[in-house]
Amino acid sequence: MLRPLFFTLLAVLTFSVHAQDIIEGEAKVAPSRLPLEELRAFAEIFERIRTSYVETVDDKTLLENAIHGMLSGLDPHSSYLGEEDFEDLRANTSGKFGGLGIEVGMEDGFIKVVSPIDDTPAQQAGILAGDLIIKLDDTPVKGLGLNEAVEKMRGEPGSPIVLTILREGENQPLEITIKRAEIKITSVKHKLLDDQYGYIRITQFQENTGADISNALQILTEKSDQPLKPLSGVILDLRNNPGGVLDAAVAVSDAFLESGLIVYTKGRIANADVRYEATIDTPAPDVPLVVLINGGSASASEIVAGALQDHGRAVIMGTQSFGKGSVQTVLPLNGEHALKLTTARYYTPNGRSIQAQGITPDIEVHQGKFTPENESRYYKEADLTGHLENPDEKKEKKVEDEENETKKLIAKDYQLNQALTMLKGMRLLASKQNRDSDDQTPAVPAITD
């Protein structure tokens, strides 16, 4: 039985190699000879499982398990996508999918949270980047593949799941109950901070993110107190952004760069080597820019931060990013199944590989709480009985009421607070330099007859 089965499997594997050449649509060098001894061992193990395992397992399941194992042994991001997994991947890039709202990877056999996504059940329940999930309900994660674990986290909207997690700084595992929901991601959020300072938050890079960024910059400029002039500064918030579509990262970088290389990829096959350049069609080429990153900023987020940092276009603030510098290509197999395979590494314009290293911020700022000193002990002119009224007091009160919500946001987010302070400092410095330059301009002598 072993010999016929061995040659059957050999034929299947050989066909798979050539079928992949056709799918990718380019001629390749003929594959090297397959290792017969290893294939013989595989066939023997396959047959032993068929005949001796405690329960009957059909051949299709065994072969699919073998494929899953072959890919999971390569790296944490390569995987075989069944029909449901392939459909979920398509949904993720379009911004609507079901689940908990977390981007995850594998670490030491456990599920590691790369980042919780904004406004999702996971974020609202308090899941943090860096958490290790060790149990899903009563099922230990150890030994499960990434796809299998993700499948267990999916379910009907409204149904609960208990995540048992290990968190740095906690002595005991935490049990967090989360209700599943249909996840709808708003890729770009924006608001105006302090008159002419814009705040743009990208939660995930999707197909329409580039267009959304351009739209956000236009809206912020129109809302500023000087709508015909450019903004005095922009904070681009990429914290806890797990990445997404590569083309979207290029488009976001291009919104702030007029020329030059944004990112390039290098792999083993010819079409894996690609260079992405900025275009002259740039909505915000000169506006002062601060980019916020942290340990949950991964993949496409790191492409943007790295490009803007290498070009000296932005000040990068926050903490070290995640360090995912590899490119996954989705290779459809038959319309219903696909192979998600790591095919290249990407590099910043200066040739830095982000893989397992991440982006180091120009200014390191850890998240924390800022409590201003209470100044109520000081008496001011306005506290004196019979003080003269300020004619602009009513107007200022209206502006103050409108800015209350924004001030609360800045007050509770220390990193955002520091980013805004940096932008204001950059504006003051530029203004001072312009004044000094004007003062030093030599007078033009008068012309007399």
Q: Which residues are identified as catalytic? A: 299, 310, 324
Q: What are the tokens at 391?
A: 């004619």
pLDDT at 446 over 50: no
Most confident of 21-25, 27-31, 282-286: 282-286
Token pair for 181: 């929901």
φ/ψ of residue 207, rounded to 5: -60, -30
Least confident of 61-70, 291-300, 379-388, 411-420: 379-388
User: Would you state the pLDDT for residue 289?
Assistant: 97
What is the model's pLDDT at position 29? 42
Eight-class DSSP state of 248:
H
* Residue 342 CB burial class (10 angstroms; 0-12, 13-18, ≥19): middle
Mean pLDDT of 82-96: 70
96, β-bridge pairs: 184
392 compared with 5, residue with greater pLDDT: 392
Dist. CA 173–CA 166, nearest whole Å: 5
Residue 93 pLDDT grade (very low, low, confident, very high; cuts 50, 70, 90): low
C-alpha to C-alpha distances, 167 to 126, 133, 170, 280, nearest whole angstrom: 11, 9, 6, 46
What pLDDT is recorded for position 27?
36
d(CA 89, CA 79): 12
386's enclosing H/E stretch is none
How many CB atoms neighbour CB 292 within 10 A? 27
Residue 258 burial by CB count (10 A; 0-12/13-18/19+): exposed, middle or buried? middle
The more confidently predicted of residues 337 and 3 is: 337
**50 sits in which H/E element:** helix 36-52
The answer to whether the beta carbons of residues 121 and 98 sit under 8 Å apart is no
Phi, then psi, of 438 in degrees rounded to 5: -65, -40
Identify the top-confidence range among 144-148, 254-258, 440-444. 254-258
- Interatomic CA distance for residues 289 and 230, integer angstroms: 12
Q: Which residue has the higher pLDDT, 146 or 448?
A: 146
Report percent pLDDT > 70 for the chain.
Answer: 82
Q: Output the pLDDT for position 387.
A: 73
pLDDT higher at 435 or 152: 152
How far is the first Cα of the chain from the last one, in angstroms, to the nearest whole number?
114
Rounded Cα distance between 24 and 431, Å, is 55
Where is 395: in which H helix or E strand?
Answer: helix 393-412
Strand 289-293 relative to strand 315-318, pairing: parallel
Helices 393-412 and 414-439: crossing angle in degrees, nearest 10, is 120
In the structure encoding, which two tokens stand for residue 35, read together?
A: 């290792």
Angle 241-243-245 (CA atoms, 0-180°, nearest 5)? 140
Q: Highest-confidence range of 22-26, 316-320, 379-383, by mean pLDDT?
A: 316-320
Domains belonging to the chain, first-starting first, are 97-184 (2.30.42.10), 188-328+342-364 (3.90.226.10)
Confidence (pLDDT) at 427:
86
Displacement of CA 304 from its chain's centroid (Å) = 10
Residue 22 is predicted with a pLDDT of 27
What is the reported pLDDT for 347?
97
| Cα 89 from chain centroid (whole Å) | 15
Element (H, E) at 397: helix 393-412
Question: Any idea which of 48-52, 275-279, 445-449 has the lowest mean pLDDT?
Answer: 445-449
pLDDT at 12 over 50: no
Strand-pairing partners, residue 230, are none
Q: What is the DSSP string of 346-377?
A: EE-TT--B-TTT-PPPSEE-------PPP-TT
- Checking 175-179 for CB contacts under 8 A at 24+ apart, the result is 176/125, 176/126, 176/127, 177/125, 178/100, 178/121, 178/122, 178/125, 178/127, 179/121
Identify the band that residue 392 occupies on the pLDDT scale cut at 50, 70 and 90. Answer: low
